[in-house]
């Protein structure tokens, strides 16, 4: 009985001794809730443990600014360029752009009246960006250095900035010369002068006070036919790249008026024994009246004879009509008069002449 009891007491002690021996040779890892061995999250929404910072040897870091063609800016307009876009850094796997410091230095070249050393007024470096609005009013080129520093390593590169003059927009002395009823085609671009040596822009126009019969296409042209005489002046507003100018374009409307009745009855044509036919002549000059011409113009008549037996001859202001053995009666024929005014414009009007051919006595 005593031997059995001793065996029961000794067995647990031997087992405990075995576990202690195992513990001396092996580690037992017990998972902790919310933590993974790899450092990644076990439960959704948990963050991994931070990795220790890598060791970077400053001697392995290389930094350089790439060359760039001449930058172009224009006085009065915003300019910006981020030099981070042409910065090259190697040997720093944990590189952060916020650790780079940029500055502007003076280019190591002699001053000259052909260019400037430094930056133009209104331009400066902010962080990694060269930005601002140049205020100089003349064309010039500026030479400057950009310096970049990262973890004790520095680099420098020389660049050029060409500043163009500010654009100008001026109204020209323009007029529209026309006469009532004639076609008008006026290009508004001819009424302004644009000087722009930088980026190209678009001319825009606003038009007011158009004469009756004229229209604006919304872009560049005024077209149509002026339908009534009067004193007209069109107001124009031109806009270009933030500039604006308002001016008037007078309409020099010819005051010449040509009047001709639409139907004119001539006196009776009498029989004349001239080559066996009727003969009639009349001076048509009094039938066409011109007003408003400061000088003297010229008339020209044209006639449409409706019958081969009816011959019409005109010389200057004289019209001679010959009726070759025509039956007595009333005859009509259309006529058109063209008046060339002293200002070079032509005016036309039409009528119908009526002649009553009388029988021979």
Rounded percentage of the chain residues whose pLDDT exceeds 90: 37
pLDDT in tens, 120-154: 999 999 999 999 999 887 788 999 999 999 998 99
Whether residue 238 sits in one domain with residue 159: no
* Domain coverage including residue 150: 59-164
Mean pLDDT of 11-36: 44
Residue 332 to residues 225, 260, 263, 354, Cα–Cα distance (Å): 32, 16, 9, 5
Sequence-distant (6+) residues with CB within 8 A of 305 are: 311, 312, 333
Mean pLDDT of 314-323: 61
pLDDT at residue 176 in the model: 92
Sequence-distant (6+) residues with CB within 8 A of 216 are: 205, 207, 210, 222
Rounded percentage of the chain residues whose pLDDT exceeds 70: 72
| More confident position, 28 or 307 | 307
Of the three residues 119, 141, 164, the one that is the final residue of a domain is 164
H helix or E strand, kind and range, residue 157 = strand 153-164
Is residue 35 one of the residues assigned to a domain?
no
Tell me the residue ranges of DSSP E strands in 197-242.
Answer: 204-208, 214-216, 221-225, 232-240
Distance CA 196, CA 279 (A): 73
| First-to-final CA distance of the chain | 188
Q: Which CATH number does the domain housing residue 192 bear?
A: 2.60.40.10
Mean pLDDT of 69-79: 91
Does the CA dihedral 311-312-315-318 come out positive or negative? Answer: positive
Which of 100-109, 135-144, 153-162 shows the highest mean pLDDT? Answer: 153-162
H helix or E strand, kind and range, residue 347 = strand 346-357
pLDDT at residue 137 in the model: 74
Whether residue 221 sits in one domain with residue 202: yes
Q: How many domains does the chain have?
A: 3
Q: Are strands 176-178 and 243-253 parallel, antiparallel or unpaired?
A: parallel
Whether residue 160 sits in one domain with residue 63: yes
- Check: CB of residue 208 under 8 Å from CB of residue 246: no
pLDDT at residue 291 in the model: 84
What is this structure's pTM? 0.51
Of the three residues 128, 147, 164, the one that is the final residue of a domain is 164
Tell me the residue ranges of DSSP E strands in 10-119.
Answer: 62-65, 71-74, 79-82, 87-90, 101-106, 116-117
Whether residue 283 sits in one domain with residue 203: no
Which of 8-12, 50-54, 145-149 shows the highest mean pLDDT? Answer: 145-149
Q: Are strands 277-283 and 271-274 parallel, antiparallel or unpaired?
A: antiparallel
Within 13 A of 14's CA, how many CA atoms are on the CB side? 6
Distance of CA 130 to the CA centre of its chain: 28
pLDDT in tens, 223-257: 999 988 888 999 999 999 889 999 999 998 877 88
Is residue 10 one of the residues assigned to a domain?
no
Is residue 14 one of the residues assigned to a domain?
no
Neighbours of 150 (CB within 10 A): 20
Whether residue 64 sits in one domain with residue 159: yes
Closest by CA position to 344, among listed 138, 177, 139 = 177
Average per-residue pLDDT in the chain?
79
């Amino acid at each position: 009985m005593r031997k059995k009891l001793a065996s029961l007491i000794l067995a647990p002690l031997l087992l405990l001794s075995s576990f202690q021996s195992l513990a001396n040779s092996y580690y037992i890892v017990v998972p902790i809730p919310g933590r993974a061995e790899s450092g990644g999250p076990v439960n959704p929404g948990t963050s991994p443990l931070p990795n220790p910072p890598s060791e970077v040897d400053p001697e392995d870091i290389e930094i350089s600014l790439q060359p760039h063609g001449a930058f172009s800016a224009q006085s009065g307009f915003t300019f910006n360029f981020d030099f981070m876009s042409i910065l090259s850094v190697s040997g720093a796997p944990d590189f952060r752009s916020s650790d780079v410091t940029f500055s502007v230095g003076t280019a190591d070249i002699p001053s000259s009246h052909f260019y400037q050393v430094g930056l133009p007024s209104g331009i400066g470096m902010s962080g990694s960006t060269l930005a601002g609005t140049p205020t100089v009013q003349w064309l010039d080129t500026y030479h400057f250095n950009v310096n970049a520093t990262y973890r004790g390593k520095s680099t420098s590169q020389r660049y050029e900035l060409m500043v163009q003059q500010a654009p100008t927009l001026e109204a020209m002395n323009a007029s529209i010369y026309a006469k009532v009823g004639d076609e008008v085609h006026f290009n508004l671009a001819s009424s302004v002068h644009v000087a722009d040596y930088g980026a190209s822009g678009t001319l825009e126009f606003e038009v007011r006070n158009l004469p009756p019969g004229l229209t604006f296409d919304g872009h560049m042209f005024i077209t149509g036919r002026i339908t009534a005489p009067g004193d007209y002046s069109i107001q124009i507003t031109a806009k270009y790249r933030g500039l604006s100018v308002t001016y008037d374009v007078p309409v020099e409307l010819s005051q010449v008026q040509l009047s001709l009745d639409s139907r004119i009855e001539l006196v009776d044509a009498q029989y004349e024994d001239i080559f066996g036919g009727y003969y009639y002549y009349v001076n048509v000059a009094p039938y066409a009246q011109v007003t408003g011409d400061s000088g003297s113009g010229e008339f020209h008549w044209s006639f449409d004879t409706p019958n081969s037996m009816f011959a019409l001859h005109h010389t200057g202001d004289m019209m001679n009509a010959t009726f070759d053995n025509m039956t007595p009666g009333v005859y009509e024929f259309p006529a058109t008069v063209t008046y060339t005014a002293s200002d070079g414009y032509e005016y036309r009007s039409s009528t119908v002449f009526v002649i009553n051919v009388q029988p021979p006595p």
